[in-house]
Amino acid sequence: MTDRPDPAPQDPLEDELRRLLHDRATVEPAALDGVRATYGRLPPRRRAPLALLARAAAVLVGLGIGVVALAQLPAGPATPPTTPRLQEPSAFEGDPRRALCDSPFAIYAFELPRLADFRAYYQGEGFPTDDVPALIVVWDGRTAFDRMGREFVLPPGHYNACIVAGSPGDPAAWRRIDVSDADLTALLPGPGLIGDPARYADDPRFARCAGPQAEVLGAFEMQHARDYRLHVPAMGRSPELEVDDPAFVVIYRGRNPLSRPGVWPDPLSDPARRDVCVLVGADVAAATLNVYPGVDITGLVATLPDSSGSAPAPSTASSPAVTGTPGPATPEPAPAWTGDLAGQLDCDGPVRTIGGETGDVTEELIGPTPADLAEYLTRTNFDALPGRLELAEHEAHWVRYVHLHDDRLKTVVIATDTSPRSLGPWAIVGLRSCDPAEYDPEVGLAGVYHGVWHDAAGNPVPTELIHEITGAGHCGWDSATLMRYEGIQFIRDPEGVLADMQVAPYLADTDLPETAVDTGLRDGERHLWRSSDGRYVFVVTSDHVEGWPRAVRDFGCT
């Protein structure tokens, strides 16, 4: 009996492919050691009923019930999970575990007495938990580095949690995972994370924000109001705060007393959102009062410089310490090529609605260098961009990437490191594009979008008519493919993750009905047919027919 492959004729390309694959499969000893460490951290194979109860409780917490609720639930035979104390990463300087998770994007860190408790903040599977202590370092920004110095990028709304299992003297397993905003919100705010409102009990600024009458989560000062998005990075842009005046911030735990009942949504319905008061001006009596309902406080990282002192006087208090590296305070004038992006394009059809002109785009952080744009664009909401962008312009603080087909400009992307929001520090600030059907067919599409379809004559078809995307991973749909054809969604669902969303079952291997109609659309060897009753499209290849059912309704993953 042999274990060799079936004999095949010699093919130089196959030989070269074999050499390439073996090169790429070369394993570094350190990487192997990291994986080996998993052995000793595998969970017990038989779980006690109480442990299962704790796990269920953790999932509930992950769904938004909250850390406080978890602490009140029976949590298994060991000590119940406790709310971790968030700290500056520098608090763990000298801890070997901290070194394993070193990153310029580390924003805070916390210790857990039992790694198993991390499930309270992470619903994902795959991390072997145990009764060992752990250090968790959370990285902000889209780009981070693993312990081997390689860069990786997260989708918007996600952070990295770098987890080191073991005690400071014996760090063992190491792993990074993605955690979402919502997971982190369960951690925010922890004791001492933001200003203790008691410190400001007699402060007239606190009184103007109705602090004494409110249940307040925290309060802090800003030397300049324009720094507000350094402290509350997910807060929407607010022109009235783009001033140099000092400001005082109060974040309410519940509804703020200044709101009119019934007008604003209940802030407690979303754990990531809180009402916020920002008092702008040095003169308390004349300061401008701004109250913002339902502000997304995800990423709030303001801390008091001295947590043990008495309440500072308004005129002498220093600004809260903020992690991250603020961008340049005074942006330089933008080059001329950052303007009129749509006018720069040479499209056959209309300019797509994605993105916007420079300054109109909600700034998206991409990382410490312009090159980070590459991976960032694979995960962004700026969908269906070309798979290759050329660096066309690069000045000190601005870059312009383009995509050309037959020397005609089809996509332009502007990024800068002068964005006031950039903790990162480079951010996309402008993006316009033609339809992907106009891209160079050789480069393919980036991100979750699949390739462009063609009509029977071989002409590319606009994505408005038909496109396919991979299902969103964070909704557990990554095994599915969603096709939108003539405005209707069809689903390829081999693992049944969207079974409830289909008007009929997905057919992995079927016969093409005699009544099916050829749409004339082609994607390589794939031909698209549709059923006469509209319930299916059929993706037909030379040896295979799949039936993709129509979705019961339009849906998406947010």
Interacting positions 129-168 with another protein (CB under 8 A):
146, 148, 150, 152
Q: Is 458 in the site for another protein (CB under 8 A)?
A: no
Burial 248-259 (b: 16+ CB within 10 A, else e): bbbbbbebbbbb
Residue among 85, 253, 388, 408 that touches another protein (CB under 8 A)? 388
Could you give the string, one character per residue 398-417, with x where binding to another protein holds by CB under 8 A and - elsewhere?
Answer: ---x----------------
Contact by Cβ (8 Å): 501, 516: no
| Residue among 176 and 199 whose Cβ is closer to another protein | 176
Candidates 272, 277, 303; CA nearest to 290 is 277
SS3 of residue 501 by DSSP: helix
Question: What are the φ and ψ backbone dihedral angles of 268, each rounded to 5 degrees?
Answer: -80, -10
Please enumerate, as own/partner, the contacts of 6-14 that have beta carbons within 8 Å and a separation of 24 or more: none
Shortest distance in whole angstroms from residue 472 CB to another protein: 9
Of 120, 136, 214, 389, which lies in the binding site for another protein, with binding defined by CB under 8 A? 389
The H-or-E segment that residue 16 falls in is: helix 12-24
Nearer to another protein, 201 or 371 (CB): 371
396 lies in the binding site for another protein (CB under 8 A):
no
Q: In DSSP terms, which residues pair with 152 in a beta bridge? A: 144
Q: At residue 83, what are phi and psi to the nearest 5 degrees?
A: -65, 120
Q: Which is nearer to another protein, 205 or 410 (CB)?
A: 410
Q: Verify binding: residue 500, another protein, rule CB under 8 A.
A: no
CB of 36 to another protein, least distance (A): 6
Of residues 82, 83, 325, 470, which one binds another protein by CB under 8 A?
470
Among 9, 10, 24, 396, binds another protein (CB under 8 A): 24
CA distance 220 to 302: 8
* Nearest CB to another protein, comparing residues 17 and 198: 17
In single-letter form, the type of residue at position 488 comes to I
What is the distance between the alpha carbons of residues 434 and 412, in angstroms, rounded to a whole number?
9
| Contact code string over 165-204 relative to another protein, x by CB under 8 A | ----------xx----------------------------
Amino acid type, 218: G
In the list 35, 59, 268, 488, the residue contacting another protein (rule: CB under 8 A) is: 35
User: Which one of 14, 242, 244, 306 is in contact with another protein (CB under 8 A)?
Assistant: 14
When asked if residue 59 is in the footprint of another protein (CB under 8 A), the reply is no
Q: How many CB atoms lie within 10 A of CB 530?
A: 21
Transcribe 184-232 into DSSP letters.
HHTTPSPTTTS--GGGGTT-HHHHHTTGGGS-EEEEEEESSGGGHHHHS
CB 205 within 8 A of CB 222: no
Structure tokens at 181: 């905003």
In the complex with another protein, the residue whose CB is nearer, 44 or 350, is 44
- The neighbour count for residue 260, using CB atoms within 10 Å, is 6
Cα 438 off chain centre by: 29
One residue of 448, 466, 482, 540 binding another protein per CB under 8 A: 448
Whether the Cβ atoms of residue 159 and residue 178 lie closer than 8 Å to each other: yes
The answer to the question of residue 543 lying near another protein (CB under 8 A) is yes
Taking the CA atoms of the chain, what radius of gyration do you get in angstroms?
27
Q: Indicate the residue among 43 and 556 with the shorter CB distance to another protein.
A: 43
- Out of 9, 22, 283, 457, point to the residue binding another protein (CB under 8 A): 22
For 36, other C-beta atoms within 10 Å of its C-beta total 10
333 in contact with another protein (CB under 8 A): no
Q: Binding residue for another protein (CB under 8 A) from 50, 68, 321, 391?
A: 391
The smaller minimum CB distance to another protein, of residues 31 and 198, is found at 31
Options 23-31, 65-73, 91-99, 196-204: segment touching another protein (CB under 8 A): 23-31
Counting contacts by CB under 8 A, is residue 444 touching another protein? yes
Q: Which of 28, 93, 407, 514 binds another protein (CB under 8 A)?
A: 28
* Residue placing its CB nearer to another protein in the complex, 147 or 253: 147
What is the closest distance, in whole angstroms, from the C-beta atom of residue 476 to another protein in the complex? Answer: 10
Binding of another protein at residue 38 (CB under 8 A)? yes
* Residue 390 near another protein by CB under 8 A: yes
Contact segment (CB under 8 A) with another protein among 40-48, 98-106, 199-207, 429-437 equals: 40-48
Q: Tell me the closest approach of the beta carbon of residue 230 to another protein, in angstroms.
A: 29
Q: In what order do the strands lie in the sheet with 398-405?
A: 364-367, 426-433, 408-416, 398-405
- The residue range among 48-56, 251-259, 340-348, 385-393 that interacts with another protein, by the rule CB under 8 A, is 385-393
Beta strands in 263-372 (DSSP E): 273-280, 288-296, 302-303, 321-322, 364-367
Contacts of residue 532, Cβ cutoff 8 Å, sequence gap at least 6: 513, 515, 516, 517
Q: Does 496 bind another protein (CB under 8 A)?
A: no
Which residues are CB-contacts of 382 (< 8 A; sequence separation ≥ 6)?
354, 355, 364, 428, 431
- Judged by CB under 8 A, does residue 36 bind another protein? yes
Interacting positions 203-262 with another protein (CB under 8 A): none
Answer for which of 294, 378, 503, 552 binds another protein (CB under 8 A) is: 378
Which helix (H) or strand (E) is 58 found in, with range?
Answer: helix 49-60
Query: At its nearest, how many Å lie between another protein and the CB of residue 525?
Result: 7
Report the nearest approach of another protein to the CB of residue 147 (Å).
9
Binding test (CB under 8 A) with another protein, winner from 128, 168, 265, 520: 128
For residue 436, state whether it binds another protein (rule: CB under 8 A): no
Q: E strands, 497-542, where?
A: 517-523, 526-530, 536-541
